[in-house]
Structure 1
């Protein structure tokens, strides 16, 4: 790995016989490759050391059925829908034929007959009675839904509404995404999609079980994030010094983001308890640190935007070095940084607005609470998003010069004075 091939010259040169491979400084190449190999070995060792045990975790109370087990859902389809008297003894029970009539003094509610299409009572029907109120589902004939199946204290099977079935619509949306990416980006897009699968596997197969196992969140997030970056970058962009420079810049930026996250969380005393899911974690999974989860979320959330910026900077530096063989490192660095500054400006907007979009329901509630803007901004819920955006923005901005410098060292090797003079004279004759 001591040279990078010219993707555009194909050996025809630029008018002065310098087409073909661009020589790379052997020392810089060895240093970058050696660092990446060493980091890769450290990541593997960290994954082995932090690998979760096989101990089982009790299901938290909010996610249990009445019998204490895991929630089991079955498929169902709404076949009849009306408003009428409720209180039927058949509500929630599997039956064939017609449901039992409600008592004479019953109240009106939404009644839905559901065909049960999976599980031990497949082929039977159940009745759902849904009273009026905010957050209640509005069922229609033909809706496909998921039903929770559990057992009541008497041992009888009962069903209740869980959610709308979204399997087919989600499958179509994901299929459209895969097809568009594959058609436009071709094999590189397919490899990027494979990288996403690897990232999902790392999150589900390593990071979440390790956090549940009580492993410290900081090393888990760093090891998991590094593993994701190795897979995503090399799968999507191929194994080359161009990709390696972007990877090294991203790993360094991730480490910087981790340090900034730790410092800012300690400085601001963020707890994360303003979010209901974090409160549930603290209540029912006591050995998991909420602060650690915040920290891990900051790191993983920054990977996508860091990857975007660093691969762009690496590609820009290599392309500039390829287009102008007479440009020195300082000139290539300056040109690439001009591109990087534009990228920073646009990506910072993306970063901040993405977090603001996710916090819109929260901001809406604060807007009608009558609280001062100072209290809203300094509260835990909004402060988390401010800190998250700031940490990501700092790491993003610093990743540009860092990655550009690494890429320039690989794309333009140092030249001796004599070689530089010969190149300059050759370029001058070509210009005349």
Structure 2
């Protein structure tokens, strides 16, 4: 027993080291310089004084603030510098003396972050295929760390893979039926600029994102069904495959309703600003239902729900198939 635990630990460590080395090597990819960010890092500072304010007589703010900052980290820590504070809701703020802020400092280069999916996309692989490969690796690692290579984890692995592929396929079919594609997204102009300078296929990014978005929920329901079937088989080893499949379907039927609702609410919450604007402007139904933003959110909820629904019979079937042959 102790030998088995040490062997499993060694396998995990070797896999983590090998995976880390592979990811480091795989990320050595040439990236075209789309924006000049050499030497730009984010550092902490504190506002000392307002050199020039942008407050107007009518209470509005126009232009930028010029402020004096005391740097709190980085190579200039403790020094006082002047900085420009843009007038914007996304990257700017209204500075006041004593306020702690994050500034963009141009001193040293920033370290990159290791990824698997993005280097594959930058190297020209289709985003959907890259998402599938990344999901398979994440699934394999997750299932092994939770249960090892047992028939329960293998059944959950297969069911999850089938579920996310179903979700992605449903999104592609739905998008084709209503003339939605990866070129209908709101930031397509920026993506097309990136595509002109890289090998990225921006048309598939939307569907790859749906695959990733449904991965967690699909994995959850797959493990719920397979774990329930495994526990039932452990307490009643003479159960037939048909009865085990029926039990898995009954468990999954109770879970998939709440899981589909969870996914729909998650997509709704992520696009709450879009829905709020549509509601505030009181747009006509035909305009609303034909807008790309609304159509994409409906497609996300529709396809992810399909993935969850189809995961249940796949998980139940795989649990029944991996049941002992003599107990037919």
TM-score interval (norm. to shorter): 0.7 to 0.9
Please report the TM-score for the alignment, with normalisation by the length of structure 1: 0.60
Unpaired segments of 5 or more residues in structure 2? 1-21, 55-61, 108-112
Question: Which residue of 114, 129, 144 maps to 2:69?
Answer: 114
In the TM superposition, residue 371 of structure 1 has moved relative to its aligned partner by 1.9
User: CA 1:372/1:243 → structure 2, altered by over 3 Å: closer, same or farther?
Assistant: same
Report the more deviating stretch, 396-405 or 209-218: 209-218
In the TM superposition, residue 231 of structure 1 has moved relative to its aligned partner by 0.9
In the TM superposition, residue 343 of structure 1 has moved relative to its aligned partner by 0.2
Aligned mates of 1:241, 1:268 — CA distance in 2: 40
User: CA 1:74/1:308 → structure 2, altered by over 3 Å: closer, same or farther?
Assistant: closer
Which is higher, the Rg of structure 1 or of structure 2?
Answer: 1
Aligned to 2:59: none
In the TM superposition, residue 131 of structure 1 has moved relative to its aligned partner by 7.1
Report the more deviating stretch, 348-357 or 254-263: 254-263
Aligned mates of 1:296, 1:356 — CA distance in 2: 19
Aligned mates of 1:218, 1:306 — CA distance in 2: 17
Aligned mates of 2:243, 2:63 — CA distance in 1: 77
Aligned mates of 1:270, 1:208 — CA distance in 2: 24
Whether 2:57 is the aligned partner of 1:57: answer no
Whether 2:82 is the aligned partner of 1:127: answer yes
Question: Which residue of 217, 241, 248 maps to 1:329?
Answer: 241
User: CA 1:414/1:52 → structure 2, altered by over 3 Å: closer, same or farther?
Assistant: same
In the TM superposition, residue 81 of structure 1 has moved relative to its aligned partner by 4.6
User: CA 1:325/1:80 → structure 2, altered by over 3 Å: closer, same or farther?
Assistant: same
Please report the TM-score for the alignment, with normalisation by the length of structure 2: 0.77
Question: Which residue of 366, 371, 377 maps to 2:283?
Answer: 371
Unpaired segments of 5 or more residues in structure 1? 1-47, 88-106, 151-156, 158-200, 417-432
In the TM superposition, 1:165-244 aligns within 5 A as: 204-244=114-154
Alignment deviations for residues 365-405 of structure 1 (CA, whole Å, 9 cap, x no partner):
12223421332232111211111111111121111011111
1:282, 1:289 within 8 Å by CA — same for their partners in 2?
Answer: no
Question: Which residue of 66, 75, 78 maps to 2:46?
Answer: 78
Aligned mates of 1:55, 1:321 — CA distance in 2: 49
Whether 2:229 is the aligned partner of 1:312: answer no
Whether 2:173 is the aligned partner of 1:263: answer yes
In the TM superposition, residue 55 of structure 1 has moved relative to its aligned partner by 4.7
1:316, 1:336 within 8 Å by CA — same for their partners in 2?
Answer: yes
Question: Which residue of 260, 264, 285 maps to 1:348?
Answer: 260
2:48, 2:67 within 8 Å by CA — same for their partners in 1?
Answer: yes
Partner SS state of residue 411, structure 1:
coil
Aligned mates of 2:182, 2:290 — CA distance in 1: 13
User: CA 1:230/1:115 → structure 2, altered by over 3 Å: closer, same or farther?
Assistant: same
Aligned to 2:301: 389
1:78, 1:144 within 8 Å by CA — same for their partners in 2?
Answer: yes
User: CA 1:283/1:342 → structure 2, altered by over 3 Å: closer, same or farther?
Assistant: same
User: CA 1:388/1:410 → structure 2, altered by over 3 Å: closer, same or farther?
Assistant: same
RMSD, matched Cα: 3.1
1:321, 1:412 within 8 Å by CA — same for their partners in 2?
Answer: no
Partner SS state of residue 116, structure 2:
helix
Alignment deviations for residues 80-129 of structure 1 (CA, whole Å, 9 cap, x no partner):
355x7559xxxxxxxxxxxxxxxxxxx99856431124455443212345
Aligned to 1:405: 317
Aligned mates of 2:64, 2:32 — CA distance in 1: 37
2:45, 2:101 within 8 Å by CA — same for their partners in 1?
Answer: yes
In the TM superposition, residue 312 of structure 1 has moved relative to its aligned partner by 0.8
Aligned mates of 2:181, 2:193 — CA distance in 1: 14
Partner SS state of residue 285, structure 1:
helix
User: CA 1:365/1:343 → structure 2, altered by over 3 Å: closer, same or farther?
Assistant: same
Aligned mates of 2:30, 2:104 — CA distance in 1: 23
Question: Which residue of 149, 171, 185 maps to 2:105?
Answer: 149
Partner SS state of residue 286, structure 2:
helix
1:305, 1:347 within 8 Å by CA — same for their partners in 2?
Answer: yes
